[in-house]
Amino acid sequence: MTKNLRVKSSKFVDETYKIYFKFNGKTYHGYKGDTLASALLANDIHLVGRSFKYHRPRGIMTAGSEEPNAIVQLHKNTSRTEPNVRATEVEIYEGLEASSQNCWPSVNFDIGGINNFLSPILPAGFYYKTFMWPASFWKKYEYFIRKSAGLGKSPTEPDPDIYEHRYIHCDVLVIGAGISGIIAAKIAAKNGFKTVLVDEKPYLGGSTIYQNSEYFKINNQISSSWLDKEINEIKKIENLEIKTRTSVAAFHGYNFLLAREDLLDHLPFNQRNNKIRQRLLKIRSKKVINATGSLERPLIFDNNDRPGILLSSAINKYANLYGVACGKKNVLFTNNDSVYETAISLNSKGINVEAIIDNREEVDSKLIKETENNKIKVYKGYTVVNTSGYKRINKVTIMQLSKDGQKAIGSKISINCDCLGISGGWTPAVHLFTQSGGKLKFREEDQVFIPNKYSSDQISIGSCNGDFTIDEILLSVPKNIKQFLSIKKTDFENFQAHSSFNKSKRNIWLLPSDKNIGKTMPFVDFQNDATAKDIKLALREGFRSIEHVKRYTTTGMGTDQGKLGNMHALGIISETTGSKMGELGTTTFRPPYTPLTFGTIVGRNVGEYFDTFRKTPIHDWHVRNKAEFENVGQWKRAWYYPKSGESMHDAVQRESKAARDSAGILDASTLGKIDIQGTDASEFLNRVYTNAWSKLAIGKCRYGLMLNEDGMVYDDGVTTRLAENHYIMTTTTGGAATVLGKLEDYLQTEWPELDVYLTSVTDHYATVSVCGPNSKQIVSKVIPDLNFSNESFPHMSFKNAKIGKIKCRVMRISFTGEHSYEINVQASYGKSVWERCMEIGKEFNITPYGTETMHLLRAEKGFIIVGQDTDATMTPIDLQMDWIVSKKKYDFIGKRSLYRSDTIREDRKQLVGLLTEDPDEVLEEGAQIVADINKSPVEMLGHVTSSYYSPNLKKSIALGVVRGGKKMLGQKLIIPMENKKINITVADPVFLDKENKRLNA
């Protein structure tokens, strides 16, 4: 039998609209307007989860986004599953399925509950101290910890929902639509500011909207009715955009904010198809008004975490907003006036309040009188020293407080109850304010941090600014907004607001108990199970900084970032160490304020839109011919072309052999191409490359190395002189953008006097490279009008030509060591030229090859790949490429660094060839090279950078960097692998055709 705790109907919940949902497999019902939490409470369910460390039973504690305990998994084992959702924020819908987290096998019987009985030996830092030693045991501990602890489970299937990002630009953003936010938004919008008002809840009006009491009045109207009219009015204002279910996650500098707008989460699945689930709003607002409200503080006493213990304001909200009684026998415990508002509310709804325990001794206010008139027993000057009831509170034990508040005295009184409401006063919600860089100050009289210095054009108003009651709010908000927006007059002048609150408060961060603190469980951080004694232990062990105590005890490190307990942690540190709160400072609040889903963060950038990739004009041909692709920068490059049944190794061996035996063809369109023009183009190249350029004849090509100013190799490529003042430079595929950027940098900042213009033409040309002994035969048939004799068209030269009507640039250059040609044509003709070469090359077995074969062929020839055989520590001298460094040029980028004391060391790592003793043994790239394996510690001399089996040389070849390698030619070294040692010999890095016979053939 389920119990029904629904009391008098509420206008916010539609009792004619029944909704069925499942919790832990069982079906319940609630009404439209309910949250999961309110619906569970109406069914008398408090126990929702288990705590993180001790697996203590935990219930719903709050009625908002600050909830630490009632976090659930939605739609377990489906693609729409979502972990760590606060039951207090989930609006119920037909078909909703929620389940408890952090319990196994079930929330009612949880193996981990044993930790609760072990708690005396599970203090703060226990995990650090125990499970970390001995290191080899960690694997065993980890298995059990992972199984029995941890919060929700991530989904394993792709997210079926759609998300998007949207930019919003406005004059004024108001965060929070409580009474302060509504007043502010109305003033701003009515004065012509383009205003946006956001609130995380589905309704407007904050906590005032259900404040139905004679004791809180504005202009002689009950505060909720007054606010209701204001809300109806602002909905009609044209330049005011109102967004509910919209939670601001991050407040960055320059008034840039991120917010999550929920559009579908309150609807059943059948109404969600093809609609956007959530939007990430990127808001740029000229001015920001923080009206984020405040959070009620719990009280810290022994066993303050049992199911059935809620914040007093939450009990009030459940009764007034949702029409739900949290218990039948309620007890309230407070250090301020707020619980009396709850008591009167409950009383008016016929919900029984057994007693109120007030730690203040001498207090008097209209609210207290009214409470006592209602025959509710008020224990003044008392404190709760303990509670009992494992899965639901059933009793509180109270004692008198000593005058100084340090001790519990007198005899114990027990009060039976099924619900305890607690109130430790209010904490301004300054999270977003501090995220933006704002600085807080501490207000001694009520022990709160309030905004002090703003980092941007913004203001905090209402209770997040420390003005907690409606009379204070109506006095301060219009005045502050007037000033903030430079307005002369508002609609809110001379308002009469009346609040019956007495502001007195007796703040005791850790309430005393009759027991030794070591025997108590006063929770400070409910989600992470950090207690006051953990904090004291951390202080005893020498931690002082709040940031250190936080990490050691894990206080404030849960998904709720300690919204409830952080202030108490600070207070306890302050009291224990005798330091002032204001001087301790707070921990840093980080975005997001409440968790964001990954879907919202990535928006539409999923699947093929996750990252952009670039295709060459010949890409489709590669796809049709079953190429495997490799990502190079953002390019998709053909890697190798396996024939049916071929492995990658087989394909690469075949391609490599064909290229040297007859002809190979490569799509080289991805190489970076920069068009360089201007009267100072030659001088410019002189300055950016290590070799000399002034004397390069028109129509000739030259290989160049580019260094950084620190002398290290940065990029390489062939540059061709097309005309007197016109060059075309090629760069590595990955380096194209950064090389252009670097060249532009020098031109704009160091050498603005040079007449040089740079244009990226990478995408404008397709490049088809044909190599091999038969390349001349093929290319001369593709371009019949061109003279291909060695005299007319030697290696390292260039010709303008035509294929039919198509203009092309042909370079006779080679990256393979073979006689070869690169045909550059306008990109749109790339594929047809490629196909022409394939057609004509058929009789020569022309073989398309990919990047892997290209790498193998150049390694046979000892050509480097920048970024593979070099890292940012290799000079041209280290690469044994002294020949490319001009001795005559006065200066070029990096020159001076080539003779720094460090770069002239002879024992630098230098590029060498490596040959294995066993010619079939292929080295692993990255493998370490050593000379003496018995030396301790083993001295690492270098590592393998490139390694292949060469089908043309019929042996394994490798390049590597070795300390002092230049002088080690012929020396034997060792590569120690996991199960073996490989003997190698240092060799010349050029393995094939050192005389360049093939190039010039």
Partner 1 sequence: MFLINCPYCGEREQSEFKAGGEAHIVRPKQPTELSDDQWAEYLFMRKNIKGIQFERWIHIHGCRKWFNVARDTSNDVIKAVYKMGEKPPTN
According to CB under 8 A, which residues from 635 to 654 bind partner 1?
A: none
Judged by beta carbon, residue 279 or residue 742, the one nearer partner 1 is: 742
Helix (H) or strand (E) holding 95: none
By C-beta, is 516 or 901 nearer to partner 1? 901
Shortest separation between residue 788's beta carbon and partner 1, angstroms: 40
Of 424-453, binders to partner 1 (CB under 8 A) are 437
Kindly tell me which residue out of 22, 29, 252, 328 binds partner 1, with binding defined by CB under 8 A. 252
Q: Does 763 bind partner 1 (CB under 8 A)?
A: no
Nearer to partner 1, 286 or 781 (CB): 286
Q: Closer to partner 1 at the Cβ: 802 or 896?
A: 896
Q: How far is the CB of 439 from partner 1 (least distance, A)?
A: 11
Site residues for partner 1, 856-885, by CB under 8 A, read: none
How far is the C-alpha of 20 from the C-alpha of 1, rounded, in Å? 16
The span from the CA of 82 to the CA of 156, in Å, is 11
Contact pick of 141, 143, 254, 757 for partner 1 (by CB under 8 A): 254
Question: Which CB, 111 or 761, lies closer to partner 1?
Answer: 761
Q: Output 410 or 603, the one with its CB closest to partner 1.
A: 603
Nearer to partner 1, 572 or 729 (CB): 729
Based on CB atoms, which residue is closest to partner 1, 762 or 820?
Answer: 762
Assign 435 to helix, strand or coil: helix
**Shortest distance in whole angstroms from residue 896 CB to partner 1:** 4
Site string for partner 1, 181-200 (x = CB under 8 A): --------------------
Q: How many Å apart are CA 921 and CA 694, to the nearest integer? A: 46
Q: Figure out which of the listed residues 785, 891, 978, 995 binds partner 1, where binding follows CB under 8 A.
A: 891
Tokens for 758, please give them.
């740079």
Closest separation in Å from C-beta 875 to partner 1: 14
- How would you classify residue 963: left for phi > 0, otherwise alpha for psi between -120 and 50, otherwise beta? beta
Q: Per CB under 8 A, does 900 bind partner 1?
A: yes
CB of 890 to partner 1, least distance (A): 7
Of the candidate spans 103-111, 246-254, 388-396, 971-979, the one that interacts with partner 1 by CB under 8 A turns out to be 246-254
643 burial level (CB within 10 Å; 0-12, 13-18, 19+): exposed
d(CA 317, CA 345): 10
Confirm or reject binding of residue 890 to partner 1 (CB under 8 A).
yes
How far is the CA of 805 from the CAs of 768, 809, 812, 834, in angstroms? Answer: 18, 13, 21, 16
**Per-residue string for binding with partner 1, 344-383, x by CB under 8 A?**
----------------------------------------
CB of 251 to partner 1, least distance (A): 12
CB-nearer residue toward partner 1: 54 or 593: 593
| Minimum distance, C-beta of residue 170 to partner 1, in the bound complex (Å) | 15
Contacts of partner 1 in 684-743 (CB under 8 A): 709-710, 741
Rounded to a whole number of angstroms, the minimum distance from the CB of residue 168 to partner 1 is: 14
Residue 687 Cβ vs partner 1, minimum distance, rounded to whole Å? 10
Q: Closest by alpha carbon to 830, among 776, 785, 763, 780?
A: 763
Q: Which of 901, 934, 936, 979 binds partner 1 (CB under 8 A)?
A: 901
454 touches partner 1 (CB under 8 A): no
Residue 78 vs residues 21, 33, 96, 97, 723: alpha-carbon distances, Å: 16, 25, 12, 11, 65
Cβ(717)–Cβ(731) below 8 Å: yes
Minimum distance from CB of 877 to partner 1 (Å)?
Answer: 17
User: Which of 443, 446, 492, 450 minimizes the C-alpha distance to 470?
Assistant: 492
Which position among 365, 725, 780, 897 is part of the footprint of partner 1 (CB under 8 A)?
897
Handedness of CA 965, 970, 972, 977 (dihedral sign): positive
Q: Which one of residues 140, 275, 604, 896 is an interface residue with partner 1 (CB under 8 A)?
A: 896
Please state the closest distance from residue 708 (CB atom) to partner 1, in A.
10
Q: Which of 129, 157, 214, 253 binds partner 1 (CB under 8 A)?
A: 253
Which CB, 294 or 691, lies closer to partner 1?
Answer: 691
Tell me if the bond preceding 105 is cis, omega within 30° of 0.
yes
Q: Residue 817 and residue 996: Cα distance in Å, rounded?
A: 7
DSSP-H helix ranges across 721-844: 736-745, 775-782, 830-841
Angle at alpha carbon of residue 770, lines to 766 and 775, rounded to 5°: 145
The contacts of residue 957 (CB under 8 Å, 6+ apart) are: 859, 860, 913, 914, 915, 947, 948, 949, 950, 991
Q: By C-beta, is 883 or 890 nearer to partner 1?
A: 890
Contact track, partner 1, 733-762, x by CB under 8 A:
--------x--xx--xxx-x----------
Asked if residue 286 binds partner 1 (CB under 8 A), the reply is no
Give, as ranges, the residues between 255 and 284 that touch partner 1 (CB under 8 A). Answer: 256, 284
Listing DSSP states for 669-715 in one string gives: TTSEEEEEESTTHHHHHHHHBSS--TTPPTTBEEEEEEE-TTS-EEE
Number of residues that bind partner 1 (CB under 8 A): 23
Q: Which is nearer to partner 1, 252 or 498 (CB)?
A: 252
The secondary structure of 560-576 as a DSSP string is TTTTTTHHHHHHHHHHH
Choices 197-205, 559-567, 787-795, 887-895; region in contact with partner 1 by CB under 8 A? 887-895
Rank residues 516 and 748 by Cβ distance to partner 1 and give the closer one: 748
What b-and-e string marks burial along 780-811, b requiring 16 or more CB atoms within 10 Å of the CB? bbbbeebebeeeebeebbbbebebeebebbbb
Strand residue runs (E) in 96-161:
97-100
The beta-carbon contacts of 118-124 under 8 Å, at least 24 apart in sequence, are: 119/54, 119/521, 120/518, 122/53, 122/54, 123/533, 123/534, 123/537, 124/530, 124/534, 124/535, 124/537, 124/538, 124/552, 124/553, 124/554
Q: How many CB atoms lie within 10 A of CB 48?
A: 30
CA 868 to chain centre: 30
Q: Which is nearer to partner 1, 253 or 784 (CB)?
A: 253
Closest to partner 1 by CB, 139 vs 887, is 887
- When the beta carbons of 575 and 710 are compared against partner 1, the nearer one is 710
State the greatest distance between any 2 C-alpha atoms of the chain, in Å, as a whole number. 115
455 lines the binding site for partner 1 (CB under 8 A): yes
Binding of partner 1 by 886 (CB under 8 A): no
The pattern of x and - marking residues 816 through 855 that bind partner 1 according to CB under 8 A reads ----------------------------------------
What 3-state class would DSSP assign to 578?
Answer: coil
Give me the half-sphere count of Cα atoms (radius 13 Å) on the Cβ side of residue 100.
29
| Nearest Cα residue to 175 out of 370, 536, 436 | 436
For 894: left if phi > 0, alpha if psi spans -120 to 50, otherwise beta; the answer is: left
Provide, rounded to whole angstroms, the least separation between the CB of residue 709 and partner 1: 6
Binding site for partner 1 (CB under 8 A): 252-254, 256, 284, 437, 455, 709-710, 741, 744-745, 748-750, 752, 890-891, 895-897, 900-901
